[in-house]
A and B are shown apart, each in its own frame.
Chain A
Amino acid sequence: MSLKEELLKRMSDGVVDMEEDEVAEAAQEFIDSGFPAFEGIMNGLIDGMNRTSVLFEEEEYFVTDVLLCSDAMYAGLNVLKPYLPEESGDNKKKAVIGVVEGDTHDIGKNLVKIMMETAGFQMIDLGRDVPLQKFVDTAKEEQADLVCLSTLMTTTMGGMKTVIELLKDAGIRDQVKVMVGGGPVSQSFAAKIGADGYSQNAVEAVRLAKDLLQTAS
């Protein structure tokens, strides 16, 4: 195994094993050895997160594990990011994400954000308990491609429908795809309120987002 391969493996394994310091160290060695940061991100850190996603889908890993894996990934990202070449023309797809008004449960939303960032989306995170109009205003200002709505409470599900109506009122419903998720939300609810898609978990959300925007995976 070459030094480069070895360092990539250390980063990827470090993410899967939730070893923040180990990932940051391997990332620093990777840069010090003169290897390109982009490759370290894609074949080291993202590779680790992809393996984490598989473990999550197989119910080997749970939310608490994924949160720590993503911390390890971000630790590596902080080291590598400054060495990335200036991006020529931002062609990342933009998504606005948040938990709808009345609800402050944001674990699911955070996971989706992490997974989508990992998959190359630019995420604009509005946080939780977000006033419904704010989703629309932000989508408009940022010319977002996607609006991702989350709630864990039955009592706030109705807000998702309102956001879709507000998007229509603002005349931008055709310009964005709307995806919904969270405990009480289902495929049939998504269809009923006129959302473009529903996903059951964070890994599925990435697939759905790619499908909706038909980007190559």
Chain B
Amino acid sequence: MLTPKERLHTVLEGNKADRPPCICPGGMMNMITEELMQTVRIYLPEAHTDAQKMAGLAKAVYEQGCFENYGVPFCMTIEAEEMGAKVNLGSRIYEPHVTGYVIDTVSDYGKLPEIDLSKGRVKVVLDAIRILKEEGDVPVVGNLTGPVSTASSVMEPVVFYKEMRKKNQETHAYMEFITNQLIKFGTAQIEAGADVIAISDPSATGEILGPGFFREFTIKYINRLIDIFREKGAQTIVHICGNMNPVYEEVNGIRSDALSFDSVVPMKEARTKLEGRVLMGNVSTYALEFAEPDKVRTLAENCVKNGSDIISPACGLGMKSPLANIRAILQAVAKEEEYASH
């Protein structure tokens, strides 16, 4: 039998494994819940700022039978915070979120500090990865906020979206700066021991940007990250939110090892339109929070049937999702393995 790490690696290489891996990367794709925290007595928001606790919670996700990976961090505010944004670290039920921007226009990006790997929550994440790396058989997923989402966390997104058109060249200069910071943080995660880097760019959807800007901004800068991370030896997963219909063709231009979608994208449709790609997804997080385990099992089985290569939640988990529901995904996926071996 494959270890979780071998299984994920095999599937991300585009090969068949004994069964699909069942993972939840972390970052925007939150996998921490109230019940999990209570079970292991490690809590948010403390674990956002303490490497031991962060690693402890990440381990709990695997040890409690939820997902077959470790993943850190549990939010998408670190990059912006390190560039000066004010962040509210949230609570046991709310994720951290940005409450204060740093610049008013893309033209002012020269005022932003560079990400410093030796301090703050960047260091917490890197230390947590080093701790998790010691465990061996479980893949460590490091998470990054995508370039457009980071850019629009450091300044007001409405202004940012408008300046993509109005100050096009300056917006690109700003994106270059942001992307370089992400390369720095991502590379450090790989050097600390991350096997996979997952990039989520929820503010860069085709629905918001349309195909033109999606190509010009989302894909261009995400691909730059991917190419460098591949050189450094990590595999990559990219999660794009929203409806893919306006941008299927463009999405196929993202060079990540796997593509992940939220639940508005029917897996069957994605399978047909993105032939040959490794797809990840997309068990409804709504069902995970509000439905019964049986329903979750059915949804997970359908994901497998409809051609998903890596089974995962469609989005970040609601913090009140019951553990029984979360465990039901892996139970359903592991049962497939039983069938296969008979």
Contacts and interface: CB of A to CB of B under 8 A. Distances in A.
A103 interface: yes
B162 A64 contact: yes
Given A59-B246, A64-B162, A68-B165, A154 B210 contact: no
A107 B90 contact: no
Most A CB within 10 A of own CB, among B245, B262, B285, B318: B318
A62 B290 contact: no
A154 B208 contact: no
A15 interface: no
Query: Chain A contact residues (Cβ within 8 angstroms of B): what range?
Result: 20 to 34
13 contacts: A59-B245, A62-B208, A62-B246, A64-B209, A68-B166, A102-B93, A105-B157, A105-B202, A153-B316, A155-B30, A158-B289, A184-B285, A184-B286
Contact of A62 (B162, B209, B285): B209
Given A105-B157, A155-B30, A184-B286, 9 more contacts: A59-B245, A62-B206, A62-B246, A68-B165, A106-B157, A107-B157, A153-B316, A184-B262, A192-B290
A62 B210 contact: yes
Contacts of B164: 64
Contacts of A61: 210
A155 B210 contact: no
A97 to B, nearest CB: 15
Interface string B233-274: 000000001100110000000000000001000000000000
Given A61-B210, A62-B208, A63-B209, A155 B95 contact: yes
Contacts of A188: 286
The 10 closest A-B CB pairs, nearest first, are A62-B210, A102-B94, A63-B208, A64-B161, A154-B285, A154-B318, A104-B97, A154-B315, A155-B95, A155-B318
Given A63-B207, A186-B286, A192-B290, A154 B316 contact: yes
A65 B241 contact: no
Nearest to A185: B286
A64 to B, nearest CB: 4
Contacts of B72: none
Interface string A33-70: 00000000000000000000000000101111101100
Nearest to A193: B290
A71 interface: yes
A129 interface: yes
B162 A155 contact: no
A175 B161 CA distance: 37
Contacts of A155: 30, 93-95, 316-319
B97 A102 contact: yes
A188 B320 CA distance: 18
Contacts of B286: 154, 157, 184, 186, 188-189
Contacts, number: 96
A122 interface: no
A110 B208 CA distance: 13
Given A71-B162, A129-B99, A64 B208 contact: yes
B62 interface: no
B158 A110 contact: yes
A155 B33 CA distance: 10
B241 A183 contact: yes
B98 interface: yes
Contacts of B245: 59
B320 A158 contact: yes
A183 B241 CA distance: 9
B165 A64 contact: yes
Nearest to A60: B210
Contacts of A63: 161, 207-209
Contacts of A80: none
Given A153-B316, A155-B93, A68 B162 contact: yes
Interface in A82-115: 101-107, 110
B315 A67 contact: no
B108 to A, nearest CB: 20
Given A63-B209, A64-B210, A152 B158 contact: no
Interface string A151-189: 011111110000000000000000000000001101011
